[in-house]
Amino acid sequence: MTAPLDATESAQHAEPEAITQGVRDIASRSLTQIAWQRLRRDKVALGGGVVVVLLILVAIFAPLLTHWFGYPPNEFHQDLINPSTQGVLGDDPNDPFSTDKMGGISWEHLLGLEPVNGRDLFSRIVYGAQISLLIAFLSTILCVIIGTVLGITAGYFGGVVDTVISRTMDIFLAFPLLLFAIALAGVIPDGAFGLTDNGLRVSVLIFIIGFFSWPYIGRIVRGQTLTLKEREFVEAARSLGAGTGHILFREILPNLVAPILVYATLLIPTNILFEAALSFLGVGINPPTPTWGGMLSNSLDYYTQAPHFVIIPGLAIFVTVLAFNLFGDGLRDAFDPRSSD
Amino acid sequence: MLKYILRRLGASALLLLVVTLMTFVIFYVVPRIAGRTTEQLATMYVGRAPTEAAIQATIERLNLDQPLALQFWEFVKGIFVGAEYTFGNDVVQCSAPCFGYSFQTYQEVFPAILDRVPVTFSLGLGAALIWLVGGVLVGVVSAVRKGSFFDRIAMGLALAGVSLPIFFTGQLALAFLVHSWEIFPNAEYTPFTDNPAAWASGLLLPWLTLAFLHAAQYARQTRAGMLETMGEDYIRTARAKGLKESRVILKHGLRPTLTPILTIFGLDIGLVLGGAVLTEQVYSLNGIGRYAVTAIVQSDLPVILGVTLFGALFIVVCNLIVDLLYPLVDPRVRAAR
């Protein structure tokens, strides 16, 4: 919106040939096109975006990658472990406590081995990406659905409805989410809702994270709806006799797509950290399924012998979360109508 | 002013009820939705050796065969007036406020929580001070020196900071700062009243670990807020009047920036409790968070329930305090109510 206005403003002070150029620029650029142009110039955000795409590809092709470059994620390699230190066996045959400081990182095992049972870390990191991204994406979708429906309802109808929904959001935002999540994960039995084992754990985690994180989206949507419903095009639709449903979903919702997309992108890293924290505390996916948080929980006993066992899963989380944050920040700046380019 | 306080108190009372209801739903309704029968539900609260009689007694005691409303009533009544627990031939009195009785450790939950509160409280308080002061300071300097070397380094670190989980930074600190390079003493809790110096040095690393994550977020927020206020017309007016730059920044620039920061701080107390759970787990500090995590491993449901309820009530009280402090910081609230 602002960009064409800026163009006119600068055009007034410019040379005649510049005016025609400026006019051509004004011609037709939607907010999405402006955002895309800004995003293309933001190298940091693009870098984040590229890493995100790579991570998604890694998660999708996890079985192929481990087939080519690793070993099955649950295969033990205890012959490579020094039983007296539980770390990876070192080179010195005379020292009974010889431990490899690098954790067995080699061409054979790209990211080294786990202490104790010697599972291949590369495979476990790659499969960990699968679980992590799956839960983060699906729980974010759940957040978006709950947050959009409740946010748009609160913003549009106002009054008592708004008060009730807004208070509920305040309550959710103020609560010790982790404690409630731990409690919820603790009371769900091993088999329920016709699901068992990992299927159940994944669904429960998606539900818990989605259920506790929707107010972040809800607040944004409510705020945007409050301003949108006063706009002329909504007024026009109403005077033409459009029903509430039409106004909500055909007039207001399409204008909310950009902010929802931006905040969903920024919610994904938060949800990745949430899942990792739950797995770290032992209420996430059950072992032996590899998760990054679960690996960091196991590493607590071995950080002196095997620092790589802390660093590798930790870096996996860090890189993933940072990439999503950088991309999300760039997306937000690009879609922000107040920022000028 | 009195009206404002009364309204806040009323809202908090309502909130207390909502939290208690939520806790009740998680522990008594969700398992049923997930398909547990009354007997199975009772078994979860019995403990190590569930006998037929003990299960029946638990059903009776928790009114598990009664309508949900009545169960909730008994649940609330138990908190306020205490409850009696029967197992085998013994009767245990759980005095008010009764947050439950652990049949794994044969302990009342509430006193056990109280024993561990000083640890979690010390951890949270120290960390909160560090991140609030540190975060705001870095944010202000970054905003004033926008685009400088300091600004770029600080904001880069802050962006990394919000992407680093506590259970990663904590273990890195343990592996390198404590064990390899021996810069920091190992984390341990000494009561403040015993030895304040040992209290502070033992908690220094956990404080920094917990504070780093939030400091990063506060620095980003303060910087953004400061940049916005420093562009306002009244800042130009203040400068035009010939005020010293330091006064312009601190009095006119920082003051309005701090108000939203305080609001976020109020909301973040809940997050701190979550962060404290993770920090305690990494550094093996025996706070209430670790108490809950240990309870999960032993499937000691009454303890998880007690800690959840306690945490939720604590947050409501903290939010009330922040609300009551708010008018002191923001004159607009004072005038409006």
What does each of the 337 residues of chain B score in pLDDT, given as a tens digit? 788 888 888 888 888 888 888 888 888 888 888 777 777 777 777 766 667 777 777 777 777 777 888 888 878 887 887 777 666 566 777 777 778 777 777 788 888 899 999 999 899 889 989 988 999 999 999 988 888 888 888 888 888 888 899 999 999 988 888 888 888 888 888 888 888 888 888 888 999 999 988 888 889 889 988 888 888 888 888 888 888 888 888 888 888 888 888 777 877 776 788 888 899 999 989 999 889 888 887 878 888 888 888 888 888 888 788 778 777 777 766 665 4
For chain B, what are the domain ranges?
2-94, 109-336
- Is residue A340, in this structure, part of any structural domain at all? no
Question: Closest to B304 (Cβ–Cβ): which among A182, A311, A318?
Answer: A182
Domain B109-336 has CATH 3.90.870.10: no
Exposure of B145 in the CB half-sphere (CA atoms within 13 A):
13
pLDDT at A56: 93
Q: Are residues A131 and A33 in the same domain?
A: no
- Is residue A108, in this structure, part of any structural domain at all? no
- Is residue A289 within 8 Å of residue A131, measured between CB atoms? yes
Q: Are residues A177 and A297 in the same domain?
A: yes
Question: Closest to A299 (Cβ–Cβ): which among B36, B171, B311?
Answer: B171
Question: Closest to A189 (Cβ–Cβ): which among B31, B269, B274?
Answer: B31
When scoring B7, B109, B159, B163 by the number of chain A Cβ atoms within 10 A, the one with the most, hence best to mutate, is B163
Q: How many CB atoms lie within 10 A of CB A92?
A: 11
Contact check, Cβ <8 Å, B278/A277:
yes
Kindly state the tokens that stand for A120.
């291949």
What is the value of ipTM here, to two decimals? 0.85
Q: Torsions phi, psi of B12, nearest 5?
A: -65, -40
Question: Closest to A175 (Cβ–Cβ): which among B31, B159, B270?
Answer: B270
Contact check, Cβ <8 Å, A318/B179:
no
Q: Kindly list the residues from chain A whose CB atom is less than 8 angstroms away from the CB atom of residue B319.
A: 174
Question: What DSSP element (H or E) covers B87?
Answer: strand B83-87
Kindly calculate the radius of gyration of chain B based on its CA atoms and give it in whole angstroms. 24
- Is residue A29, in this structure, part of any structural domain at all? yes
pLDDT band at A24 (very low <50, low <70, confident <90, very high): low
CA dist list (Å): B133 to B129, B153, B250, B262: 6, 18, 14, 12
pLDDT at A293 over 80: yes
Residue of B nearest to A320 (CA): B163
Q: Are residues A130 and A10 in the same domain?
A: no
Question: CA nearest A45: which of A272, A250, A339?
Answer: A339
Q: Are residues A25 and A137 in the same domain?
A: no
Q: Is B162 on the interface with A (CB under 8 A)?
A: yes
In chain B, which among 49-108 make CB contacts under 8 A with chain A?
Answer: none
Q: Is B210 on the interface with A (CB under 8 A)?
A: no
Q: Kindly list the residues from chain B whose CB atom is less than 8 angstroms away from the CB atom of residue A191.
A: 35
Q: Are residues A204 and A302 in the same domain?
A: yes
pLDDT at A272 over 60: yes
Q: Is A51 on the interface with B (CB under 8 A)?
A: no
Q: Are residues A6 and A71 in the same domain?
A: no
Q: Is A211 on the interface with B (CB under 8 A)?
A: no
Q: Are residues A132 and A263 in the same domain?
A: yes
Contact check, Cβ <8 Å, A304/B175:
yes
Kindly state the tokens that stand for B93.
């009195």
Q: Are residues A171 and A294 in the same domain?
A: yes
Tell me the pTM. 0.85
Q: Are residues A201 and A318 in the same domain?
A: yes
Residue type, position A9, single letter: E
Q: Specify the CATH number for the domain of residue A311.
A: 1.10.3720.10
Question: Closest to B296 (Cβ–Cβ): which among A182, A299, A307?
Answer: A182
Contact check, Cβ <8 Å, A277/B271:
no
Per the structure, how many domains does chain A have?
2
Mean pLDDT of A324-334: 88
Partners of A191 in the beta sheet?
A196
Contact check, Cβ <8 Å, A176/B296:
no
Q: Kindly list the residues from chain A whose CB atom is less than 8 angstroms away from the CB atom of residue B174.
A: 303
Contact check, Cβ <8 Å, A182/B159:
no
pLDDT at B336: 57
pLDDT at A292 over 70: yes
Q: Are residues A274 and A171 in the same domain?
A: yes
Question: What DSSP element (H or E) covers A121?
Answer: helix A121-157
Q: How many CB atoms lie within 10 A of CB A45?
A: 22
Residues whose CB falls within 8 Å of the CB of residue B125, separated by 6 or more in sequence, listed in order:
none
Residue of A nearest to B284 (CA): A300
* Distance in Å, alpha carbon of B239 to nearest chain A alpha carbon: 26
- Is residue A180, in this structure, part of any structural domain at all? yes
Contact check, Cβ <8 Å, A174/B44:
no
pLDDT at A139: 94
Contact check, Cβ <8 Å, A176/B311:
yes
Q: Is A328 on the interface with B (CB under 8 A)?
A: no
Q: What is the pLDDT of residues B200-255, one digit of tens each?
A: 888 889 999 999 888 888 898 899 888 888 888 888 888 888 888 888 888 888 88
- Is residue A95, in this structure, part of any structural domain at all? no
- Is residue A96, in this structure, part of any structural domain at all? no
- Is residue B206 within 8 Å of residue B187, measured between CB atoms? yes
* Distance in Å, alpha carbon of B88 to nearest chain A alpha carbon: 25
Q: Torsions phi, psi of A75, nearest 5?
A: -85, 130
pLDDT at A7: 44
- Is residue A93, in this structure, part of any structural domain at all? no
Q: How far is CA A198 from the centre of its chain?
A: 21
- Is residue B79 within 8 Å of residue B72, measured between CB atoms? no
Contact check, Cβ <8 Å, A176/B273:
yes
Q: Which domain holds residue A25?
A: 2-41
Measured over the CA atoms of residue B18, residue B301, residue A139 and residue A273, the dihedral's sign is: positive
Contact check, Cβ <8 Å, A175/B304:
no
- Is residue A219, in this structure, part of any structural domain at all? yes
When scoring A168, A173, A177, A187 by the number of chain B Cβ atoms within 10 A, the one with the most, hence best to mutate, is A187
Q: Is A325 on the interface with B (CB under 8 A)?
A: yes
What DSSP character marks residue B94? Answer: E
